[in-house]
Structure 1
Amino acid sequence: MEMEIHFPGGKRVTSTYKGFTVETDQPKSEGGDDSAPEPYDLFLASIGTCAGVYIVYFCESRKIPIDDISMTLHFERNETSHLMEKIAIDVKLPADFPPKYKKAVIRAAQMCTVKRNLVQPPEILVTANGET
């Protein structure tokens, strides 16, 4: 698998994968145009949307409507390292959500592949023209 990364100008960086282009930019305070999310914003969004997909699959397989389900991500960043110290996902279930599935839907969200990659991170190698 391969993803292409391009530098269209300014502080913008784009990725192209599976026919989709994802744009990023930096805020004006960092010299960007604030025209797109920062890359780290997409990282956080990938955690939430990945957990959300697992909830969708769980509910669909049990014919539970998802219209009134939502989630909120709360996160705490270390001011020195600028890394996240805690990311909490709060799944908001409607009053008529089957009580017997509440713990199971939480477990489904925890199965998110993005989250599991953080627990068991891949090796990341950086090269230039194939050389270190």
Structure 2
Amino acid sequence: MVIDVRFPGGKKVLADFGDVAIATDQPVKSGGEGSAPQPSQMFFGAVAACSGYYALAFCQNRSIDTTGLGLSVRCQPDERTKLVGTVEMELTLPVGFPEKYREAIVRAVEACWVKKHFEHPPLFSVRTR
């Protein structure tokens, strides 16, 4: 995967994946226009979207109606580091969700590919040219 970053103006940053791009901006109080999520929001937004996808796929693969399926992600700060210290996920199951699948859907959400990168972080390198 190659991601090319562009700077379209102001505090906006575009992460370009070739076929699609993700726009970010900064809030007005930080000199941006507030026209898109901040990169830090996108970071945990990716975890939320990926985890949600795993829940959705779990239900779809078992022909379980997804009406009412939801996921809420709360990022709690660590007062000492000022970084996110705890990520709490609450999965809302559809009415009539089969009891026999409760633990399995939690395991499916926990298998999120993006979340797995927190458990096995990649190495980063930065260089100039």
Same fold (TM over 0.5): yes
Normalising by structure 1, report the TM-score.
0.92
Name segments (4+ residues, structure 1) moved above 2 Å: 78-82
2:76–2:87 contact (8 Å) kept in structure 1: yes
Alignment of 1:42-81 (within 5 A): 42-81=42-81
Q: Which residue of 2 aligns with 1:118?
A: 118
CA shift for structure 1 position 38: 0.2
Q: Give the whole-Å Cα distance in 2 for the aligned partners of 1:86 and 1:40.
A: 15
One-letter identity of the residue aligned with 1:85: G
- 1:96 has 2:89 as partner: no
1:87 paired with 2:87, answer yes
| Unmatched tracts of structure 1, length 5 or more | none
Provide the secondary structure at the position in 2 that maps to 1:2.
Answer: coil
**Within 1, Cα distance between the matches of 2:17 and 2:46?**
15
In the aligned structure 2, how far is the partner of 1:86 from the partner of 1:48?
A: 14
TM-score by length of 2: 0.94
- Render the CA deviation track for 1:35-83: whole Å, top value 9, x for unaligned: 1110011111111110111112211111111121001111111245331
5+ long unaligned stretches in structure 2: none
Aligned twin of 2:7: 7
Once residues 74 and 18 of structure 2 are traced to their aligned partners in structure 1, the CA distance between those partners, rounded to angstroms, is 30
1:17 aligns with 2:17: yes
Q: How big is the alpha-carbon RMSD for the aligned residues of Structure 1 and Structure 2?
A: 1.2
Paired-residue identity, %: 33
Spell out, residue by residue over 1:18-43, the C-alpha distance to the aligned partner (whole angstroms, 9 max, x if none): 41111101111111111111001111
Distance of 1:87 and 1:18 partners within structure 2: 31
Distance 1:25 1:80, change over 3 A: farther
